[in-house]
């Protein structure tokens, strides 16, 4: 099963070094696709746009998501049930519907599509994921620790800052990293709300896929992207499950 999950990715990585154009057989090792990729300025421009959006969208969704997770965890009320439903629904909404509905909003309100609209869309779909990750972390948090800090003379702000924040921060960062990966990865929603001059990396890859000349270059680009995803995933995983990773702190 793991082989089924990884085989296509392995083929991509191997082919990125393959001199043969379609990768049917091994025609010898080459760096030339990477050289072509290095020379493709439009790819790097797209990367810059993608990173700009990913960083700003993950920061905003970290803020909104952490606050949402805190209120969901701390309060029990009709408001929070509605809040919880609103947070969960985007998780199961197909991308095309989210993209389509945001496009309808922007067209009807006369907002020109561009960087801002992509950012709004990305914050919207990242928000729920961040909330879920932080909420998971909060559920492991023992709130009597706050009471203990208060009993020991800490003010409310101090208790939150010195006790709650350090213990929840790894969850927040993990949520932010997830948001970052989701934002970099998104194609469908971005496609709907992008405008002229805002070709993000996935949009660029999609347009490269239409011209067969650049196919091997996509292999090289994919290999680099897969490698960075691996690093990010490992980092996020470490942050999310620090206690279970072998040391007996718990």
Partner 1 sequence: MISRSPSSTQWLLTLPSLAWLGLFFVIPAILIVVTAFRSVDFHGGVGAGWTMENIVALRDPAWLPIAWRTLALSAATTFICLALALPMTFHMARVGPRLRQILLLLVVIPFLSNFLIRIFAWKSLLHPEGPLTNLLVSLRLVPEGALLLNNVGAVLLVMIYTQLPFAILPLYAAAEKFDFSLLDAARDLGAGPWRSFAKVFVPGVRRGLISAAVMVFVCSLGQYVIPQMVGGASDEMIGSKIAQRVFADRNLPQASTLAAALMLAVLVPMFVAAAWQRFGRKEAAS
Under rule CB under 8 A, residue 64 binds partner 1: yes
Question: Segment near partner 1 (CB under 8 A), from 34-42, 51-59, 161-169, 213-221?
Answer: 213-221
Q: Give the residue, chosen from 19, 23, 44, 45, that forms a contact with partner 1 under the rule CB under 8 A.
A: 23
Q: Which stretch binds partner 1 (CB under 8 A): 38-46, 51-59, 162-170, 217-225?
A: 217-225
127 is a site residue for partner 1 (CB under 8 A): yes
79 binds partner 1 (CB under 8 A): yes
**232 touches partner 1 by CB under 8 A:** yes
- List Cβ neighbours of 63 (8 Å cut-off, separation of 6 or more): none
Question: Rule CB under 8 A: is residue 219 a binding residue for partner 1?
Answer: yes
State the nearest-atom distance from the C-beta of 153 to partner 1, in Å: 19
| Residue 5: CB minimum distance to partner 1, A | 5
The residue whose two tokens read 């942050």 is: 239
Return the range that interacts with partner 1 (CB under 8 A); candidates 39-47, 157-165, 167-175, 236-244: 236-244
- Binding marks (x or -) toward partner 1, 138..167, rule CB under 8 A? ------------------------------
Q: Does residue 94 belong to the site contacting partner 1 (CB under 8 A)?
A: yes
Structural contact between residues 87 and 68, judged by C-beta atoms closer than 8 angstroms: yes
* Token pair for 47: 């990367």
């Amino acid at each position: 099963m793991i082989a089924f999950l990884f085989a296509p990715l392995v083929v991509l990585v191997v082919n990125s070094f393959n001199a043969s154009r379609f990768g049917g057989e091994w025609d010898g090792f080459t760096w030339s696709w990477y050289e072509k990729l290095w020379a493709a300025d439009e790819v790097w421009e797209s990367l810059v746009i993608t990173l700009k959006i990913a960083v700003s969208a993950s920061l905003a969704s970290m803020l909104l998501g952490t606050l949402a997770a805190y209120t969901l965890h701390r309060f029990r009320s009709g408001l929070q049930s509605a809040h919880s439903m609103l947070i969960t629904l985007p998780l199961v909404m197909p991308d095309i519907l989210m993209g389509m509905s945001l496009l309808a909003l922007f067209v009807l309100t006369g907002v020109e599509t561009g960087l801002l609209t992509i950012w709004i869309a990305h914050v919207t779909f990242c928000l729920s994921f961040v909330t879920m990750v932080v909420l998971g972390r909060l559920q492991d948090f023992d709130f009597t620790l706050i009471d203990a800090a208060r009993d020991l003379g800490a003010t409310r702000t101090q208790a939150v800052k010195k006790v709650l924040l350090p213990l929840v921060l790894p969850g927040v960062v993990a949520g932010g990293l997830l948001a970052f990966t989701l934002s970099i990865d998104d194609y469908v929603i971005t496609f709907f709300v992008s405008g002229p001059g805002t070709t993000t990396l996935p949009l660029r890859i999609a347009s490269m896929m239409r011209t067969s000349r650049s196919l091997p270059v996509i292999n090289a680009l994919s290999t680099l992207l897969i490698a960075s995803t691996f690093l990010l995933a490992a980092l996020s995983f470490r942050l999310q499950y620090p206690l279970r990773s072998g040391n007996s702190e718990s």
